[in-house]
Structure 1
Amino acid sequence: MANGDGTQHHWPALDLVGTIRHDGNGGVLDDLAEPGAAAAWLAEHGERFTGTAELPAPDAELHAEVVALRRAARALFARAVSPGPASRADAHRLMPADEALARLNAAAALDPVAPQLDWSADDGPTPARPLSSAADPRARLLAALARAVVEFLTGPDRERLRACQAPRCVRYFIKTHGRQEWCKTSCGNRARVARHYDRQRTGADA
C-alpha cells in the first residue's frame, strides 16, 4: 500500500507509531497531542484497526491510554531495530521494555477475539479480521491498537524495520531493498545534502 508521501506499508502499527513525525522544519509533530487531535486521527485511521466497529467517544482518559499504548509501541519498535539507532524523537526517553510489554499485552487482552477464516472461490484461505467479543468500544479500540503492534512485531517485516536517520526525520519504516537507508526519497536527498555540507565544512576547517 502506498502512502501519500511515497512510503510503502500495510501495517496499521506503523500508522500508530507514525503519529510522532517531523514537521519539515527541524521540529516534531504529535498527531495525538491532545484529545481533539487524537479523535481526528482515530476518525481517519481507526477503521484500519477496528473495521466498521463503533469508535468510542474520545475523552481525557481514553486519550491518555492511547498515548501510553503508543509509547509502549515505540519502545518495542526501538527494541526491534536494536542495535541500530532508534527514532530520534524519543530515543532518550523510551518506556522500559518490560513495562512496554506489560502494557501492550494488557491492552490486547481487553478484548478476547476469535480468529476468522476468509476463503473466496478464486483465492486461497486467508485470515479475516478477528471476531470481537467486547461490548465496550473503548476496550475494542485499545485491544485492536495493541493487537496491531503484536501482529507487526511477530510478523515477517520486523527484521526489516529501521528508524530513518535523515536530518529532521523521526519515522520508522520497512526497508524494501538492500541499500535503503531512508524512509523516502526526500529524506535521502536531505541526507546527501547534509553529508556534502559536512564534507565541505570539514575540508574548510582542515
Structure 2
Amino acid sequence: MSLSLEFVSTIRADRSGSIDLLSDADGMTTWVHEHAADLDVDPGFTATEELREETVRLRQAVRALFARAVAPEPPSRADATDLPGFAESLALVNTCALAAPRAPQLAWNGEPSLVAVPAAPADPSVRVRAALATAAVEFLAGPDRAQLRTCQAPRCVLYFVKEHPRQEWCSTACGNRARAARHYREHKK
C-alpha cells in the first residue's frame, strides 16, 4: 500500500466505532516508527503534541483531496462533513511538500537505484509532514488516482486502489460484511 493510502488510513473503523491511530503523540510516534524509512526519521524520533496536531491537519487536507478525487462517488463516511475546503487543502498539501523538498539521488549497491533524500536540512517534524505531503502529491498526480475508491462496506471508512475490474471493497472482510448486510436486508421482510 502506498504511503499516502497508509496515511489517510490512520482513521479506521471497527465494531466499536472510529479509531484514530494519530489520536495522541504516542500513537503518532508509533505510526512514524512503522514508516521510518519512507519518512526519513531516526529511530529515536518522538512526536510532540504540536507535530501530531499539524499532521492530523495535513491528514484531513489529504483526505479532502481524496474525497475530491473519488467524486462523483461519495467520500469516506469517517469525516466527510468535517473536511476542510478544497482550495485550503490543496494549499496546505503543497506548502508542506515545499517545506522540506526531497531530491532524487542515485544509490549504487551492486545495482543502481533511485532514492529520495531531503534536499536541505530540516527539523524532523517538518521532514515528516513534507514526506507525507509529497507522497500525497505523487499519488494524486499518478496513475493510481484513477483507480482510487471509497469502500462502501458497512462501517468501513477506508479508501483503496481498485486492483481488479470487479473489486468493490477494500478487503475480503469488507466484501463479506457487505454481502451479509445485503442478504439480511433482502430476507428480513
Does the TM-score normalized on the shorter chain lie above 0.5? yes
For residues 31-53 of structure 1, give each alpha carbon's deviation from its aligned partner in whole angstroms, at most 9, with x where no partner exists: 00111211111122232222x55
Q: Of 54, 66, 69, which residue of structure 2 is paired with 1:77?
A: 66
1:141 Cα deviation (Å)? Answer: 1.3
Whether 1:143 and 2:133 are equivalent positions in the alignment is no
Contact persistence 2:61–2:90 (CA under 8 A): yes
CA contact under 8 A between 2:102 and 2:116: conserved in structure 1?
no
Q: Distance in 1 between matches of 2:62 and 2:93?
A: 7
Alpha-carbon distance in structure 2 between the residues aligned to 1:150 and 1:53: 24
Alignment match, 2:146:
159
Question: What is the letter of the counterpart of residue 127 of structure 2?
Answer: R
**TM-score calculated relative to the size of structure 1:** 0.84
Unpaired stretches in structure 1, ≥5 consecutive residues: 1-8
Alignment partner for residue 48 of structure 2, among 55, 59, 62? 59
**2-side partners of 1:158 and 1:119: how far apart?**
31
Report the Cα distance in structure 2 between the residues aligned to 1:68 and 1:126, rounded to whole angstroms: 33
Identity rate, percent: 49
Match of 1:4 in 2: none
- For the 8 Å contact 1:46–1:55, the answer to whether it is kept is no
Residue in structure 2 matched with residue 193 of structure 1 by the alignment: 180
1:17 maps to which residue? 8
Q: Which amino acid aligns with 1:27?
A: G
Question: What does 1:81-92 align with in structure 2 at a 5 Å threshold?
Answer: 81-92=70-81
Within 1, Cα distance between the matches of 2:55 and 2:93? Answer: 11
**Are the structure 2 counterparts of residues 140 and 54 from structure 1 closer, same or farther at C-alpha, using a change threshold of 3 Å?**
farther
Answer with 1 or 2: which has the greater Rg. Answer: 1
Q: For residue 117 of structure 2, give the secondary structure of its aligned residue in structure 1.
A: strand
Matched, 1:114 2:103: yes
Change (3 A) 1:79 1:179: same
- 1:85, CA displacement in angstroms? 1.3
Q: 1:41 aligns with which of 28, 31, 54?
A: 31
SS of match in other structure, 1:157: helix
Aligned: 1:29 with 2:19: yes
Higher helix share: 2
Deviation at 1:135, TM superposition (A): 3.2
CA contact 1:26–1:168 (8 Å) conserved in 2: no
* Shift >3 Å, 4+ stretches: 52-57, 117-122
After superposition, give the CA deviation of every residue in 1:137-193 in whole Å (9 maximum; x if it has no partner).
122111111111111111110100101010111111110011110011111111011
Question: How many residues were matched structurally?
Answer: 189
TM-score of the two chains, using structure 2 as the length reference: 0.91
- Root mean square deviation, CA, Å: 1.9
Unaligned 5+ residue runs, structure 2? none
Write the distance in 2 (CA, Å) between the matches of 1:131 and 1:63: 21
Measure, in 2, the Cα distance between the counterparts of 1:34 and 1:143: 20
